[in-house]
Structure 1
Amino acid sequence: MESGMTKRDELDGKMTSMRKLAVVLIALGEFVDGYDLLIIASALIMLKPAFNLTASMTGLLGSIAFIGATVGLVIFGDLTDRLGRRWVYTFNLGFFVIFSLLSAFITNVTELFVLRFLIGVAIGADISASMALLAEISPSSKRGALSGALPQIFWTIGAMASQIVAIFLYMKFGNEAWRWMFGVSVLPAFLLLIGRSFLPESPRWLILKGRTEEAIQAFDRLGLPGEALVQSYSNIKEEKKASYLDLFRPPYTRQAILAFVIVGFSPLFAGASSVVGPYVFRYVGALSPIASLLSGTMIWIGGLIGAIIAFFTVDKIGRIPSTIIACLGSFLCSVMLAYSINIPLIFVTTFIVLAVFTWFGASSFWLFPTELLPTHLRGRAQGFGNGIARLVVAATAVLVTYGTAHFGFKTTIIALGSTAIPICLYALTCTQFEAKNKDLEEVSLDTNSYVNEKKISRN
Structure 2
Amino acid sequence: MTTTPATEHGSTGIPPAVDAACARERRRLHTKLKLATQIGQGIDGYIIGGIGMAMAALTADLNLSTLMQGLVGASPLIGIFVGGPLFGRLADRFGRRPVFLVDMLIFLIGSITQFFVVDGLQLFLVRLLMGVAIGGEYAIGAPLLSEYAPRKGRGRLLASLEISWYVGYALATVVGALFADVEGGWRWSLASSAVIAVVCVALRGGVPESARWLLSRGRREEAEALIQKYGIEVDVVAELDERAAGRQAGFRALFSRRHLRSTIFAGVFWAALVLPYFAIGTFWTQVFEALNMGDNAVAALLVYSFTAVAGVTAGCLVVDRIGRRKLLIPPFWITAGCLALVAVWPSSTPVIVGGFLFFIFLNAASSALTAVYPLEVFPTALRTTGVGFATAMSRVGAAIGTFLLPMGLDRFGAEFVLLIGAGVLALGGLVSQFLAPETTDMDLARAARAARDGAA
CA contact (8 A) 2:47 2:193 kept: yes
Secondary structure of the residue aligned to 1:444 is helix
* Equivalent residue number for residue 174 of structure 2: 164
Matched residue, 1:224 = 231
1:196 aligns with 2:217: no
- The SS at the match of 2:209 is coil
Q: 1:236 to 1:443 in 2, by over 3 A?
A: same
Establish whether residue 209 from structure 1 lines up as the match of residue 217 from structure 2.
yes
- Aligned pair in 2 of structure 1 residues 236, 183: CA closer, same or farther (>3 Å)? same
Correspondence for 1:5: 8
Which secondary structure state, in structure 1, belongs to the residue aligned with residue 231 of structure 2? Answer: coil
Name which of structure 1's ranges 137-146 and 262-271 shifts more when overlaid on structure 2: 262-271
d(CA) in 2 for partners of 1:374, 1:83: 16
* 1:41 and 2:52 aligned: yes
Which ranges in structure 1 are unaligned for 5 or more consecutive residues?
A: none
CA separation of 1:34 and 1:340: change in aligned 2, threshold 3 A: farther
Change beyond 3 A, Cα 1:270–1:325? farther
Relative to structure 2, which stretch is displaced further, 372-381 or 360-369? Answer: 360-369
Residues 229 and 319 of structure 1: CA distance in aligned 2, closer, same or farther (over 3 Å): closer
TM-score by length of structure 1 reads 0.88
Determine the C-alpha separation between the residues in 1 that align with 2:109 and 2:435: 43
Offset at 1:361?
1.1
Q: CA deviation at 1:329?
A: 2.3
1:264 aligns with 2:271: yes
**Percent identical residues:** 25
The answer for the alignment partner of 2:416 in structure 1 is: 411
1:293–1:86: structure 2 CA closer, same or farther, 3 Å change rule? Answer: farther
What is the deviation of 1:428? Answer: 2.0
Determine the structure 1 residue equivalent to 2:3: none
Residues 272 and 400 in structure 1, CA contact (< 8 A), matched pair in contact too: yes
Residues 1:307 and 2:312 are matched in the alignment: yes
Question: Are the structure 2 counterparts of residues 216 and 294 from structure 1 closer, same or farther at C-alpha, using a change threshold of 3 Å?
Answer: farther
Q: 2:123 aligns with which of 109, 112, 125?
A: 112
> Are the equivalent residues in 2 in contact too, given 1:167–1:294 (CA < 8 A)?
no
Query: How far did 1:296 drift?
Result: 1.3
* Residue 287 of structure 1: how far off its partner (Å): 4.2
Call closer, same or farther: CA 1:345–1:251 in 2, change over 3 Å. same
Q: Structure 2: which amino acid aligns with 1:237?
A: R
**8 A contact 1:215–1:230 mirrored in 2:** no
1:139 maps to 2:147: no
Say whether residues 1:123 and 2:134 are aligned partners.
yes
AA aligned to 2:213 is W
Counterpart in the other structure of 2:192: 184
Question: Structure 2 counterpart of 1:54, which letter?
Answer: S
Equivalences for residues 3-402 of structure 1 within 5 A: 5-7=8-10, 16-147=27-158, 149-171=159-181, 173-174=182-183, 176-219=184-227, 223-224=230-231, 234-237=240-243, 242-282=249-289, 284-285=291-292, 287-288=294-295, 291-339=296-344, 341-342=346-347, 347-402=352-407
Q: Shift of residue 51 of structure 1?
A: 2.8
Aligned residue identity for 1:411: F
- Residues paired across the two proteins, number: 441
SS in 1 for 2:361: helix
The residue identity in structure 1 corresponding to 2:397 is V
Task: Give the superposition deviation at 1:277.
Answer: 2.5
Query: What is the TM-score when the length of structure 2 is the normalising length?
Result: 0.88
Gaps of 5+ in 2: 1-5
Could you report, residue by residue, the CA deviation over 1:331-366 in whole angstroms, capped at 9, with x for unpaired residues? 122023325544556534533332211111111244
Q: What's the RMSD between the two structures over aligned residues?
A: 2.8
Please give the alpha-carbon distance, in whole angstroms, between the structure 2 residues aligned to 1:65 and 1:372: 26
Residue 152 of structure 2 aligns to a residue whose secondary structure is helix
Mapped partners of 1:232, 1:426: distance in 2 = 28
Could you tell which deviates more after superposition, 82-91 or 130-139? 130-139
Any idea what SS the aligned residue of 1:418 has? Answer: helix
Q: Distance in 2 between matches of 1:284 and 1:38?
A: 21
| 1:151-175 superposed Cα distances (whole Å, 9 cap, x missing partner) | 110000000000000011113x14x
Q: Say if 2:37 and 2:141, in contact at 8 Å, map to a contact too.
A: yes
Distance 1:284 1:151, change over 3 A: same
**CA offsets per residue over residues 62-112 of structure 1, 9 Å max, x none?**
001110111111111110101111111111111111111011111111111
Native 8 Å contact 2:331 2:366 kept in 1: yes
The CA distance in 2 between the partners of 1:179 and 1:430, in whole Å, is 44
For the 8 Å contact 1:334–1:414, the answer to whether it is kept is yes
Report the alpha carbon displacement of residue 409 of structure 1 after superposing the two structures with TM: 0.4
- Return the letter of the residue paired with 1:166: G
Deviates more, 1:179-188 or 1:270-279: 270-279
Residues in 2 aligned to 1:194 and 1:259: alpha-carbon distance in whole angstroms:
32
Q: Residue 399 of structure 1: CA displacement?
A: 2.7
- Aligned-residue offset at 1:48: 2.2
Distance 1:201 1:278 in 2: 44
- Cα pair distance change 1:77/1:189, threshold 3 Å: same
2: CA distance, partners of 1:261 / 1:102: 34
> Structure 1 residues 402, 125: CA separation in 2 closer, same or farther (over 3 Å shift)?
same
CA distance in 2, matches of 1:136, 1:295: 39
Pair 112,269 (structure 1): closer, same or farther in 2 beyond 3 Å:
closer
The farther-off stretch of 158-167 and 334-343 is: 334-343
Letter in 2 for 1:134: L
**2:450 maps to 1:435:** no
In 1, are the aligned partners of 2:66 and 2:407 still within 8 Å (CA)? yes
Q: d(CA) in 1 for partners of 2:46 and 2:174?
A: 10
The separation in 2 between residues aligned to 1:273 and 1:150, in whole angstroms, is 23
Q: For 2:285 and 2:200, locate their aligned partners in 1 and report how far apart those are by CA, in whole Å.
A: 28
Could you give the per-residue CA deviations for residues 260-312 of structure 1, whole angstroms, max 9, x where no partner exists?
22123333343344332344235544544xx3222212112111111111111
